[in-house]
């Protein structure tokens, strides 16, 4: 029953709204068929939003996953007490909310007064416009998302590392294989299922980025950091006449995109 109320009903309601236009009061009343979808597909601005969303998702997923795997490998041979303490510290981002993580990075990257600019100024270097230049703003949101997602990815990979069969590693050590040779030849292949899980879940999360954009850049500069979810929010609640039909169609397009990307990743992972 809960699944019906909180999962299936919203999707069905969005599908219904996507087929309707709005009257003068913003209420979805007029049946317009696929006009809302066609409007989105033909909108050049949406292509830029889609590209930005994909770039942010890919960058944040790559950063969080690679950092999590590297950290887990470095801790594999650490003493139990030291590993526990370091693991606790590294997993802390998982305890943050997206809003708290974004507020933290907003302070770090604030123009002139932010910690990042102060450190660069102390070294005699002028900091870039972290949140005011389009390319840097996209990079900043991506890094913030990666840091926020890192804790979860790290815990998943570390759990997989702790369950590895020690016999192949001991045999490799007897044959003279070094630490990183063992990691590349034995550990990483054994971690593929866990890494695939992390990549899929991180990508799904990255494609739905909203809070980081809202807190850090407000979609700016201009519309350079508009993501699909942020664009959906603007269409429905951003002021002016609500476009619930268009926003719902955008939500369905996002659902299709997430499904296609996840299916492609799962298939590629099984083939490999």
Please say whether the beta carbons of 173 and 182 come within 8 A.
yes
C-alpha angle with apex 195: 191 to 196, nearest 5 degrees?
120
Q: How many residues does the chain have?
A: 272
- Asked if pLDDT for residue 46 goes beyond 80, the answer is yes
Spatial distance between the Cα atoms of 225 and 135, rounded to a whole number of angstroms? 9
Query: What would the mean pLDDT of 106-122 be, rounded to a whole number?
Result: 88
- Asked if pLDDT for residue 271 goes beyond 80, the answer is no
pLDDT of residue 28: 66
269 or 120, greater pLDDT: 120
- Asked if pLDDT for residue 217 goes beyond 90, the answer is yes
Query: What would the mean pLDDT of 179-204 be, rounded to a whole number?
Result: 89
- Asked if pLDDT for residue 25 goes beyond 60, the answer is no
- Asked if pLDDT for residue 130 goes beyond 90, the answer is yes
List beta partners, residue 30: 21
- Asked if pLDDT for residue 105 goes beyond 90, the answer is yes
- Asked if pLDDT for residue 272 goes beyond 70, the answer is no
Spatial distance between the Cα atoms of 200 and 185, rounded to a whole number of angstroms? 23
**pLDDT cut 70: percent of the chain above it:** 94
């Amino acid at each position: 029953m809960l699944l019906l109320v909180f999962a299936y009903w919203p999707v069905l309601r969005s599908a219904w709204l996507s087929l309707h236009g709005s009257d003068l009061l913003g209420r979805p009343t007029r049946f317009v068929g696929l006009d809302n979808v066609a409007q989105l597909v033909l909108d050049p601005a949406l292509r830029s939003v889609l590209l930005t969303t994909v770039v942010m998702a890919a960058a944040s997923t790559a950063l969080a996953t690679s950092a999590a795997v590297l950290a887990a490998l470095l801790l594999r041979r650490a003493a139990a007490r030291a590993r526990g303490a370091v693991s606790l510290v590294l997993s802390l981002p998982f305890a943050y909310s997206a809003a708290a993580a974004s507020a933290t990075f907003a302070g770090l990257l604030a123009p002139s007064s932010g910690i990042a600019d102060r450190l660069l100024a102390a070294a005699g270097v002028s900091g870039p416009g972290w949140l005011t230049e389009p390319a840097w703003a996209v990079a900043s949101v991506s890094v913030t998302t990666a840091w926020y997602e890192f804790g979860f990815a790290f815990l998943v990979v570390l759990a997989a590392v702790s369950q590895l069969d020690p016999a192949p590693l001991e045999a490799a050590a007897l044959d003279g294989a070094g630490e990183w040779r063992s990691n590349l030849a034995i550990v990483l292949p054994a971690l593929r299922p866990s890494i695939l899980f992390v990549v899929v879940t991180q990508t799904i999360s990255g494609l739905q980025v909203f809070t980081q954009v809202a807190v850090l850049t407000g979609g700016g500069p201009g519309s350079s950091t508009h993501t699909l979810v942020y664009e959906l929010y603007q269409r429905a609640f951003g002021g002016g006449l609500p476009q619930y039909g268009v926003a719902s169609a955008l939500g369905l397009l996002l659902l299709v995109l997430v499904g296609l990307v996840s299916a492609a990743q799962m298939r590629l992972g099984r083939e490999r």
